[in-house]
Amino acid sequence: MAGLIEDYALIGDMQTAALVCRNGTVDWLCLPRFDSHAVFAGLLGTEEHGFWRLGPAHATDAEPPVAARRRYRGDSLILESEWDTPRGTVRVTDFMPPRDGAPQLIRIVEGVSGRVPMRSALRMRFSYGRVVPWVHKHEGRTVAVAGPDSVWFDTTAETYGKSLTTYADFTVAPGDRIAFTISWEPSHKQPPPLPEPEQSLDATEEFWREWVEQCTYHGPYREAVVRSLITLKALTYAPTGGIVAAPTTSLPEDIGGVRNWDYRYTWLRDAAITLSSLLRTGYRDEARAWREWLLRAVAGDPENLQIMYGIAGERELGEAELDWLPGYENSGPVRVGNGAAHQLQLDVYGEVTEALHLAHMTGLARNDYASLLQLKLIRYLEQHWDEPDEGIWEVRGPRRHFVHSKVMAWVAVDRTIKLIESGDADGPLEKWRELRDDIHRDVCEKGYDKERNTFTQSYGSKELDASLLLIPQMGFLPPDDKRVIGTIEAIQRELSTSDGFILRYPTSGSDENLDGLPGDEGAFLACSFWMADDLAMIGRVDEARKLFEKLLDLRNDLGLLAEEWDPRLKRQVGNFPQAFSHVPLIDTALRLTASGAYGG
């Protein structure tokens, strides 16, 4: 059975990623891209669906020992795990070198003390665990082939096959270093070059050292900020600049429930806020690459802006269910693709425009087509801002007039007006100023409950929504406005868990009317960071800092966060690691630092 979500470490090469459990098992890896079929899908099923375990030998593979210690090597994505056994101590170093040719996952076993018997058990299963490949020897190398894929396994250790699994049993003493590598190559091509594990390790460490040195943030919470930035970099698809929301699919928001989605795509919203964090911490190259990705993805059809695209800008992300996989802890169905891709979410126009505005304000070289795109988006909003939509949370119930969507439409118009006022674009300034005022008036009249002194989830509703916390952060109203303060306090009362973390909106248990789905979900971590931001903005800085530090405590031992926190089970839930959790962590740290709200 797969480990807890927080038991996993992330390694990756900026084109795909693997999850490594505390017991030394790789339970998730898609090759060659984030959105490719998984070679190891044990995370969503059983060992029959693919895994790679490497650790101290033990009596049964069913209960492998967990590492006594693990860490990333400095500010890198190189994972080091150590086991203390009765016979000595051993270290395994796992990493994926930034790609220059075939994608590789390299694992180096190092003896630290004593003489430790070790075992590698490699079970490759293609097509998300459905296809057993043909495993054979080719010029002394082990290769697994099925259809278009081949995975090459290289090691100096002696290997043997048993029960459709490739094993290696060996012993390490102090100073011994034995490497294991898998490399992917299209099956019709020549074998990939023999790996050079030690040289690749040095190059990978150098890559991350140089990348982290670009970070301009040196304030409090820097360790958490840098680890989040490294995670965001790992979720960036280097060839195109697209940023995946998470490297996994179908890790449940509700254990045993149906709220299981594929996050291996580029949501414009997530990518736009990621761009914001990267720009504010010194990473202009990534921001420029994302802007170029956006312009390619939207090219020729900005009026039909999708909420998400494939990592190379693909538009068709048809959703399907993999019925041969039982799901993480039997949380089915397992989904690939995402049917929400063609939803109408008007807030996306605001997030994209805000990202382009920030890029412009921070001095990113002007791109005329980016300005033209911004103008086209506003012309679309002129005609459609007052329509109902599915909203930021991609509800699968009926469309509504979501307040957050209207606020972000206002943001889109406001930032475009600022672009025109700066002299870097031409447009009907007075007409759009009137539009901005019309949207603002509409929201304040129809989305605000005077009796309760709070904005509501949608026009005419009584429900609250944590996305309303973005109203002061987007500049729609000032933080000291009584309606803003009333909304913050209402969300604290009605959407807060016993731990003080924030739910997205009330799911009302089995009631399917609100979002079209049965069941509940955990506290949404991004919303909890937003609450910390708002508390700081209204002067409650000590409360903001305490909430932020409680959120930092939810990270696993490697500093990683999933999408949500289950307050009942006291564990992380949802896809992992999640960009939409790490971005607001960075933003809140920067805001608290600017406010002087940190301790010590």
Integer Cα distance of 3 and 7 in angstroms: 6
Distance in Å from the first CA to the final CA of the chain:
42
310: pLDDT strictly greater than 50: yes
Helical spans, DSSP H, in 538-570: 541-553
Integer Cα distance of 245 and 372 in angstroms: 27
In this structure, what is the dihedral angle of CA atoms 50, 56, 59, 61, given to the nearest 10 degrees? -10
345: pLDDT strictly greater than 50: yes
Integer Cα distance of 343 and 217 in angstroms: 37
Residues in the chain: 600
Asked if residue 106 lies in contact with residue 18, where contact means CB atoms within 8 angstroms, the answer is no
Q: Could you tell me the pLDDT band of residue 291, with boundaries at 50, 70 and 90?
A: confident
- Structure token pair of residue 305: 């802006």
Q: Could you tell me the pLDDT band of residue 61, with boundaries at 50, 70 and 90?
A: low
Q: Could you tell me the pLDDT band of residue 494, with boundaries at 50, 70 and 90?
A: very high
Contacts of 205 (CB under 8 A, 6+ apart): 73, 74, 76, 78
Residue among 483, 517, 36 at smallest CA distance from 253: 517
Whole-Å CA distances, 470 to 121, 244, 451, 463, 543? 48, 23, 21, 16, 18
Q: Exposed/middle/buried for 257, CB within 10 Å: 0-12, 13-18, 19+?
A: middle
Collapsing DSSP to helix, strand or coil, 13 comes out as coil
Contacts of 15 (CB under 8 A, 6+ apart): 32, 33, 34, 99, 103, 237, 238, 239
**Strands, E, within 115-156: which ranges?**
116-123, 134-138, 141-146, 149-155
CA atoms within 13 A on the CB side of 194: 8
Cβ neighbour number for residue 211 with a 10 Å cutoff: 19
Torsion sign across C-alpha atoms 183, 293, 253, 68: positive
Burial 36-58 (b: 16+ CB within 10 A, else e): bbbbbbbbbbebebbbbbbbbbe
573: pLDDT strictly greater than 60: yes
Query: What are residue 10's phi and psi, to 5 degrees?
Result: -105, 130
Cβ neighbour number for residue 113 with a 10 Å cutoff: 13
Q: Could you tell me the pLDDT band of residue 598, with boundaries at 50, 70 and 90?
A: low
Asked if residue 11 lies in contact with residue 1, where contact means CB atoms within 8 angstroms, the answer is no
Integer Cα distance of 120 and 374 in angstroms: 53
Cβ neighbour number for residue 596 with a 10 Å cutoff: 10
Angle between helices 541-553 and 525-537 (to 10 degrees): 160
512: pLDDT strictly greater than 60: no
Integer Cα distance of 198 and 78 in angstroms: 13
Q: What is the pLDDT of residues 10-33, one digit of tens each?
A: 999 999 999 999 999 999 999 999
Give the pLDDT confidence score for residue 511 in this predicted structure.
38
What mean pLDDT value characterizes the chain? 93
Integer Cα distance of 68 and 45 in angstroms: 26
Which of 181-190, 365-374, 458-467 comes out lowest in average pLDDT? Answer: 365-374
48: pLDDT strictly greater than 90: yes
600: pLDDT strictly greater than 60: no
Residue with the larger pLDDT of the pair 341 and 444 = 444
Q: What is the pLDDT of residues 117-153, one digit of tens each?
A: 999 999 999 999 999 999 999 998 999 999 999 999 9
Whole-Å CA distances, 86 to 83, 178, 324? 10, 21, 40
Q: What is the pLDDT of residues 208-246, one digit of tens each?
A: 999 999 999 999 999 999 999 999 999 999 999 999 999
What type of residue is 436? R
**Strands, E, within 315-354: which ranges?**
320-321, 335-336
176: pLDDT strictly greater than 90: yes
Average pLDDT over residues 96-117: 96
Angle between helices 347-361 and 403-421 (to 10 degrees): 30
Integer Cα distance of 398 and 28 in angstroms: 35
Residue with the larger pLDDT of the pair 514 and 422 = 422
Contacts of 483 (CB under 8 A, 6+ apart): 444, 448, 453, 454, 455, 477
Q: What percent of the chain has pLDDT over 90?
A: 82
Contacts of 445 (CB under 8 A, 6+ apart): none
Integer Cα distance of 239 and 312 in angstroms: 8
pTM score, whole prediction: 0.95
- Structure token pair of residue 486: 């009333």
